[in-house]
Chains A and B, each alone.
Chain A
Amino acid sequence: MISIKNISKWYGSFQVLTDCSTEVKKGEVVVVCGPSGSGKSTIIKCVNALEPFQKGAITVDGISVGGPKTDLPKLRSRIGMVFQNFELFPHLSVTENLTLAQIKVLGRTEEAARDKGFKLLDRVGLMAHKDKFPGQLSGGQQQRVAIARALSMDPIAMLFDEPTSALDPEMINEVLDVMVKLAQEGMTMMVVTHEMGFAKKVAHRVIFMDAGKIIEDCTKDDFFGTPRSERAQLFLSKILHH
């Protein structure tokens, strides 16, 4: 579904990604972890071309992301993305947040878009807040709306960029619950997160990155059992013992 081949990326002369390759199959849940600055957020943003890359190739569902003739808006509309800071549109109500892209991009009628939006809002348990503005919701609620917004486009895959990092501890679970359910329903997911509990529960594979390189790319059991690299062992020992 998502294929990343030998990606390299520079900010000026500073190399942020070095020769990264991996593959995410249909229905697979892949967790990307690593210390901050390791390039994990950057690589996930390359998948839907929010960040350009200079070398290598990424294809999503057979379509080249960096290709000169690629209809980027169309491709992006098929890949859902959830951000660390939610990025709901603060000047629009929850309902408008859910329907805007459905109407403008997919050409759905307002009624159809609203039906779809409400169905998803109900699924994340926030139907009661449909007329509120993002600023009136808690962080956890905002992130659930953001997930519903991404799902409203009927994506073929979902990207999560540290979806729980900006949340208060007591709100992390309500968001993770939604994500776990999504994973169990068979959604193809690429998740940048430090939530190892989530990884243990639903991930098929874990990718560990450091300094712009993919150090480990293995099954969940291998990763939590015996990571091959010293760097990953050190990382795991640090985040699992606190």
Chain B
Amino acid sequence: MNMPFYVAPEQVMKDRADYARKGIARGRSLIAFRFVDGIAICAENKSSTLRKVSEIYDRIAFAGVGKYNEFDQLRIAGVRHADLKGYAFSRGDVDARSLANQYAQILGQIFTHEMKPMEVEILVAEIGADDGDGDQLFHILYDGTVVDEDTSVVLGGETETISDRFGELDGAPELADGLRRAITALSGPDRSLTPAELEIAVLQRGTGRRAFRRLDDPEVAGLVSD
């Protein structure tokens, strides 16, 4: 009779976490931060078609790092969840917190029960009312851990280095100031990132029902230059 080798649960979990972390660290990072008119998400992404940052609902955005097909699957599930919920109840009933919890459930489930954990870290961002109250940044890790971030968050590999470079925000900055800081933090001291190598989108207050907007390369160049 074949007896399986005993492996301690601690070891199993550690191996899975290491595996997921390694996968995530292979990709490029992104920074999300609150600015005066909403939330900006700035990702290093050379592709202009395979997106890391997307719209989920009127005031909710999604961002993912790690393995593209895995976080894109989660993104689509999020869009479906939000649209179904808005259809069944009302648009005002769709919120980031419940979506973040759903993501956490799925990621936690896959982490413990499947062969392979998802090699992703995702962000669910929502802007609140017009006075800036109720802006939310939910950072969800590969094992289902949810962190409710306050002003800014870094996703991906080398998060600590990038967070240190970005620093703590003292109040909400203007969009251009925040972006300059985020781009410097992402690029580090040895290189510089051009707008073509970045994917930037904002959830901006006062832009109508759908608050999500992508910034194109010329707009980013204009914002960052002066």
A binds B: no
The chain B residues found within 8 Å of chain A, CB to CB, are: none
The chain A residues found within 8 Å of chain B, CB to CB, are: none
